[in-house]
Amino acid sequence: MSCFAILHQSKPNQKSQLKWERQFRWTNELRSQNPKVGDNMNTNKEALRKHYRILADEDIEWLANYGPDDLIPEALDVPKEEDELREGLCARHYSRRTERNSCSWVKRFSITTIFIGFLGVLFIGCSGKLSDGDIADSVEKHQQASAQAVERSDFDAAEAEARLALEEAERRFGSEDQRTNTSLIWLASVYQAKGLTEEAKRAGERALGISEKTLGPDHLETAATMSMLASIYLTAGDIAKAESLLRRSVAVKEKGFGPDHPYTAVSSSTLADLLSEKGEYAEAERLNKRSLAAVEKAWPPADPSVPIGPRLNTPKIMEGLAKVYVAQHRFNEAEDLLARAARLRISMVGAEHLSMVGNQVILGDLYKARGRNADAEKAYREALRIEEKTIGSENEIVSNLLALVADSCVMQGKHDAAVDLYSRCVATDEKIFAPGHPQRTEHLQRYANVLKLMGRTDEAAQVEQRVQEIH
């Protein structure tokens, strides 16, 4: 087994052995590049320092698990160079980890746009418009009020009205009626928009169960429910469940509507987001381009006669395609797409709408990938401002945004600002997460790493002690 393979299976008590193995491997790799290099580690210091940053790249997971101190070989313990190297490694660690971690939760913003106008398009559209006799006036009134609240970014009101619609539908039609399910699906989408992933998951799973029981697994409305639940799983990071549901949904819609129908395109674009998460960029690009063409033709974004919900799918898919381009370092194409998507969103829902957060996060990721860390910080701060103004300060999304801003500050050497941001971040985590939640421990460890960078070792040790205590 290679040293790199061992790293992914290692435990903290294996650090010394693994550190030795890394030094041994690095020396051998260096010797293979330069046969004149001898066996003595001390004589190889200068050469190792020269190649260190390249060779250390594949061991980035070690830094993620144990911190920068443990990644620096003992053979390179030269104070001046060590300090510089530690800061560089830590910065690279932040860049790698936050790029990876932001991918899953940022989907909440882009996917949420699918559901704005959901009652009139994605779900009801599968079977045609419901008549007044199909749903009680009071239910429909609450549903419409909830949708209007979403459009004006009042998500607390949207949740309250969605709950009232569900309660009234259950009372009038029963808990397993398909009309009740319409309200349940909408409530799940509102939960997702608010970053309440567990609540959204429970509502979505219940909705799918009702659809499969009352309509069957291959019904078009069941497929729409699958897409909704898959997007929630994707947000939660459950890639396997999301992919299974999405592929089933796309297959049903392709059979019922055709491959280029906009309803098929919406599900295909969410599948493209998932494939992008998995690194399957060619397929993700192909699906996004096909989906974009379909929704632009069916729901022209400039046509005011088309409801806002369907029209918002165009910028949503543009942003998904932009993420693919960022991952491929096609930065100019990505930036152009994000600018176009932002203009479309602003023209439809305004610059302060919650869906603009996702656009700003992706823009921040693009700037970070280009090394423009000041611009990245600005974009992340704008996302944070809109999120806090719209939803409030105590939710999972705000926590992640605080971490993204903090990390961009670290990349610029603005450690004092990063410490303040991480202090807010971990305080938020304490309010919204259970003690052993992985995001809570992740943010605490990154907080400790910033303190280490500043030489505040006692405070860092206290934070790391908190990590141990909550486990």
Tell me the mean pLDDT in the region 267-285: 92
Tell me the mean pLDDT in the region 443-467: 92
pLDDT in tens, 87-117: 444 444 434 333 434 433 334 433 333 343 3
pLDDT in tens, 222-239: 998 998 898 888 878 788
- Listed by start position, the domains of the chain span 3-77, 117-256, 368-471
Average pLDDT, the chain: 77
Q: What's the rounded Cα separation, in Å, for the pair 37 and 459? A: 42
Q: Do domains 117-256 and 368-471 have the same CATH topology?
A: yes
Is the domain 368-471 a CATH 1.25.40.10 member? Answer: yes
Straight-line distance from the first to the last Cα atom of the chain, in angstroms, rounded to the nearest whole number: 30
Q: In this structure, are residues 7 and 18 in contact, taking their beta carbons and an 8 Å threshold?
A: yes
Q: What's the pLDDT at 250?
A: 93
pLDDT in tens, 70-87: 444 444 443 444 444 444
Question: Ramachandran region of residue 315, left (φ > 0), alpha (ψ -120 to 50) or beta?
Answer: alpha
Q: What's the rounded Cα separation, in Å, for the pair 247 and 250? A: 5
Q: What's the rounded Cα separation, in Å, for the pair 69 and 451? A: 13
Q: What's the pLDDT at 74?
A: 43
Tell me the mean pLDDT in the region 243-270: 92
Q: What's the rounded Cα separation, in Å, for the pair 445 and 405? A: 16
Most confident stretch, 137-151, 237-251, 373-387: 373-387
The DSSP secondary-structure symbol of 129 reads: P
CATH for 117-256, among 1.10.10.10, 3.40.50.2000, 1.25.40.10, 3.40.980.10?
Answer: 1.25.40.10
Q: What's the pLDDT at 129?
A: 38
Query: Which is it for the CA torsion 197, 163, 155, 300, positive or negative?
Result: positive
| 59: pLDDT strictly greater than 80 | no
Q: In this structure, are residues 258 and 264 in contact, taking their beta carbons and an 8 Å threshold?
A: yes
pLDDT bin (cut points 50, 70, 90) of residue 153 is confident
Q: What's the rounded Cα separation, in Å, for the pair 325 and 337? A: 9
Lowest mean pLDDT among 18-32, 325-339, 364-378, 409-423: 18-32
